[in-house]
Amino acid sequence: MGDFLSNLTLGFGVALTPLNLGLAFLGCLVGTLIGVLPGVGPIATIAMLLPITFGLDPTGALIMLAGIYYGAQYGGSTTAILVNIPGEATSVVTALDGHQMARQGRAGVALGIAAIGSFFAGTVATLVIAALGAPLTRLALIFGPAEYFSLMVMGLVFAVVLARGSILKAIAMILVGVLLSTVGTDLETGEERMTFGLQFLVDGIDFAVLAMGIFGIAEILRNLDHTEHRDVVRQSIGRLLPNRDDFKQSYKPVLRGTFIGAVLGILPGNGAVLGPFASYTLEKKLARDPRRFGRGAIEGVAGPESANNAGAQTSFIPLLTLGIPPNAVMALMVGAMTIHGIVPGPQVMTRNPDLFWGMIASMWVGNLMLLVINLPMIGMWVRLLKVPYHLMFPAILMFCCIGIYSINSLPTDVMFIGLFGFVGYMLIKFGFEPAPMLLGFVLGKLMEENLRRALIISRGSMETFIDRPVSAGLLAVALILLVLALLPTVRKGRDEVFTE
Amino acid sequence: MSISHDRPEASGRQGPVRAPQSLAGGIFLIALAALALWLTRDLSRGTLSAMGPGMLPDWLAIGVGLCGLALVVLSFLKEGEVLERWSLRGPLLVIAGILAFAVTIRPFSLGGLSIPGLGLVVAGPLAIIIGGFASPDARLRELVVLSLSLTPFCMFLFGDLLNLPIPIFPQAFADLFPAGWSQKDVLRATAAALIAAAVVVYFAGGRRRATNEIDVADQGGRL
């Protein structure tokens, strides 16, 4: 406990310096902006802004990038409630009841409870990270290559189970992602693999380029086929603060949502996206009158929004303690850390305690700022929604080009975002989800390294993965999950959760 | 959550293919696997205790190919989604915009063709205007105003404030200014001129009647 407090004190000492406060604010502001605007996601934005962080110290850079990520979760709900379009993927659920509340003239209350629930969830999640950080880091130190490999296999299986649509397609995407990660020089023999003899592929495919192509450009191409003409004229928002009855109805969903989101967020394999869906389903099951859901039930906003924010924050845990990014945003964080010479993993906490605890403390500070950014300034964000998409996407296009060019000063990188963008567009058209592919790509290199190391240690015996208890346990969990997901009854339930 | 995908109607489709989307996806995966296997044909596989560089890519390619094969087989057995409408305009113009940016941002030569480095001041507007026409709602004047205001913003942000090593304008352009001017002075003067031009173009064409209906991207819950 003493450790816990002194660590948090250290963290707040770092987070409350004027520079870091400013960067956290900037991150939250940009995050809210892209969260509000449909069609711009945190992955493309963080990839665009990576070059900006070159000049900052690593702590400040990560504080800002983290702010963008959880800020986007707040902003996404604004669009969901006011225009019935999810500003971010995770706010799909909020649109169901949030927009109905807005149509009943209770937009302000919906926004208010979303922000307050998110703030509560963010606070709890910050404490969870601070409490779990140290023990998990100690756990990571006893992990050998075999355990790391099995853990990543489990993470990828999670990603398959959590992906929407066909399981077969999700598995294929993971394999394609890992396959893409093997492009480039083989680390052990120095031989070039699948480079077509091209110079810029020798170091492998740059993650930022792939991410921006798949999530920046492909998303633009897809959105161009799916633009709608809508009336986004501002309705009156009404009072922002929920009254006593609203609080009474929503405090339990907030608590449950926070718990679900925090637990799912820790899971490797992007569990955080499932949080809002799970919370909504649970609230509907528990409600005395489930018919109210979809017609403006405040619980349907409070629960999922809390789950969403809690999950977004606890998904930092696998990255900070084990060095394994659980989703694409965290993979970009790895990129940002590597640029500054920090190797993500258990050693971050011992070698860079100010970075580790500073970032955690900044999350709480950032959540407080978001409350201010979102509630009193809501009018400003609503006005932004009036920017039509046909003017927004050329701007995104130019920012993508500038951002990716600035990372390596290579025009070929710019061309490659075009190529990957087109490939991503084709994948979307063929019904594949690009997210698992990106995760496979991120974990691919680490997996290959650990697989080879484990097999060298065991002299080529595959049994090493089953003989070691921790590794065997992780693989068993992965297998059980996969089998469960393939069972017809569970599959039906899974589809229901996603199509709710 | 696939709001945007229409449920396929069970009737009204001909032929043995029941899930065209899966068939196309499967063929794509098989082609990808074949490409990977062909590319790694010369790499040594090694043994399990000393894996060669080719072993893992081969396994993965075989896995991808098997998934593709399964998708193809399933597409004849199970009802599934139809292929969505493809548009050529979007991808073509967006990629053309990206390519235009890539070849003009700094000196570029390919075969007999060589383009001098024109910098952000040309590359940015090219990307916006060419890419912008990917949308059927595009209007030239709006895009010109957008590019004339965003380009100076980016010049100022990336070139002046953040000092990123991104070429801003061609060297020949900087030589036009008096010798005493530094790069940053030229940058600021150019940015100011562009903004002035943006204002002029904005007011020159007369204002359009404002409507409340605008086009917005419907993400349908994608990340």
Would you call A393 and B132 a contact, using CB atoms and an 8 Å cutoff? yes
Residues 96-155 on A with a CB inside 8 Å of B are none
Would you call A172 and B71 a contact, using CB atoms and an 8 Å cutoff? yes
Would you call B103 and A89 a contact, using CB atoms and an 8 Å cutoff? no
Kind and range of the H or E run holding A246: helix A244-266
pLDDT of residue B222: 43
Would you call B216 and A164 a contact, using CB atoms and an 8 Å cutoff? no
Nearest CA to B123 out of B108, B135, B111 is that of B108
Smallest CA–CA separation between B150 and chain A, in Å? Answer: 7
Measure Cα distances from B174 to A158, A195, B121, B167 in Å. Answer: 55, 39, 12, 12
Q: Return the SS3 of B105.
A: helix
Q: Classify B156 in phi/psi space as left (phi over 0), alpha (psi -120 to 50) or beta.
A: alpha
Would you call A426 and B28 a contact, using CB atoms and an 8 Å cutoff? yes
Task: Find the closest chain A residue to B3 by CA distance.
Answer: A499
Is pLDDT at B8 greater than 50 in this prediction?
Answer: no
Q: Which chain A positions have a beta carbon within 8 Å of B211's beta carbon? A: none
Is pLDDT at B2 greater than 50 in this prediction?
Answer: no
Measure Cα distances from A266 to A13, A260, A270, A273, A317 in Å. Answer: 26, 10, 9, 11, 6
pLDDT of residue B11: 42
Would you call B222 and A414 a contact, using CB atoms and an 8 Å cutoff? no
A406 → closest Cβ in B36, B106, B164: B164
| Rounded Cα–Cα distance for residues A288 and B216 (Å) | 37
CB-neighbour burial class of residue A376 (10 A; exposed 0-12, middle 13-18, buried 19+):
exposed
pLDDT of residue A258: 92
- Phi first, then psi: what are they for A37, rounded to 5°? -75, 120
A21 lies in which domain range?
2-499
B53 → closest Cβ in A175, A189, A414: A189
Nearest CA to A402 out of B184, B110, B98 is that of B98
Q: Does A167 touch chain B (CB under 8 A)?
A: no
Q: Give the residues across from B149 on adjacent strands.
A: none
Would you call A393 and B25 a contact, using CB atoms and an 8 Å cutoff? no
Q: Provide the number of CB pairs (under 8 Å) joining chain A to chain B.
A: 280
Is pLDDT at B16 greater than 80 in this prediction?
Answer: no
Task: Find the closest chain B residue to A499 by CA distance.
Answer: B1
The more confidently predicted of residues B64 and A137 is B64
Q: Which chain A positions have a beta carbon within 8 Å of B24's beta carbon? A: 429-430
| Rounded Cα–Cα distance for residues A206 and A413 (Å) | 8
| Amino acid found at B161 | L
Mean pLDDT by 10-residue block, N- to C-terminus, for chain A (500 residues)? 78 89 91 82 81 82 89 84 75 83 84 89 88 80 85 84 79 91 82 79 84 85 78 64 82 90 82 82 83 84 90 86 82 81 81 86 89 81 80 88 85 90 90 84 85 85 84 88 75 58
Nearest CA to B151 out of B108, B187, B113, B112 is that of B187
CB-neighbour burial class of residue A253 (10 A; exposed 0-12, middle 13-18, buried 19+):
buried
Q: Which residue has the tokens 């009193």?
A: A376
pLDDT of residue A495: 60
Name the residue ranges covered by the structural domains of chain B. 20-77, 89-204
Is pLDDT at B9 greater than 60 in this prediction?
Answer: no
Q: Give the distance, in angstroms, between the CA of residue A168 and the centroid of all CA atoms in the same chain.
A: 23
Smallest CA–CA separation between A421 and chain B, in Å? Answer: 8
| Amino acid found at A51 | P
Residues 405-434 on A with a CB inside 8 Å of B are 405-406, 409, 411-412, 414-415, 417-418, 421-422, 425-427, 429-432
Q: Classify A84 in phi/psi space as left (phi over 0), alpha (psi -120 to 50) or beta.
A: left
Q: Which chain B positions have a beta carbon within 8 Å of A149's beta carbon? A: none
Q: Does B173 touch chain A (CB under 8 A)?
A: no
- Intra-chain end-to-end CA distance of chain B, in Å: 11
Smallest CA–CA separation between A427 and chain B, in Å? Answer: 8
| Rounded Cα–Cα distance for residues A127 and A142 (Å) | 24
Q: Which residue has the tokens 């290199």?
A: A445
pLDDT of residue A256: 92
B67 → closest Cβ in A168, A328, A393: A168
| Other Cβ atoms closer than 10 A to B80 | 19
Cβ pair A129, A314 in contact under 8 A: yes
| Other Cβ atoms closer than 10 A to A6 | 11
A455 → closest Cβ in B48, B131, B146: B48
Cβ pair A329, A439 in contact under 8 A: no
Residue B70: pLDDT band with limits 50, 70, 90: very high
Is pLDDT at B31 greater than 90 in this prediction?
Answer: yes
pLDDT of residue B5: 43
| Rounded Cα–Cα distance for residues A79 and A382 (Å) | 8
Q: Testing the interface with B: which of A224, A413, A429 to mutate, by most B Cβ within 10 A?
A: A224
A39-43, A361-365, B66-70, B93-97: least confidently modelled range: A39-43
Smallest CA–CA separation between B99 and chain A, in Å? Answer: 6
Q: Does B22 touch chain A (CB under 8 A)?
A: yes
- Mean local confidence (pLDDT), B188-211: 77
Q: Which chain B positions have a beta carbon within 8 Å of A38's beta carbon? A: 216-219
Smallest CA–CA separation between A205 and chain B, in Å? Answer: 15
Q: Give the residues across from A229 on adjacent strands.
A: B215
Smallest CA–CA separation between B179 and chain A, in Å? Answer: 28
Count of the separate structural domains present in chain A: 1
Measure Cα distances from A203 to A73, A172, A181, B15, B42 in Å. Answer: 34, 24, 10, 46, 19
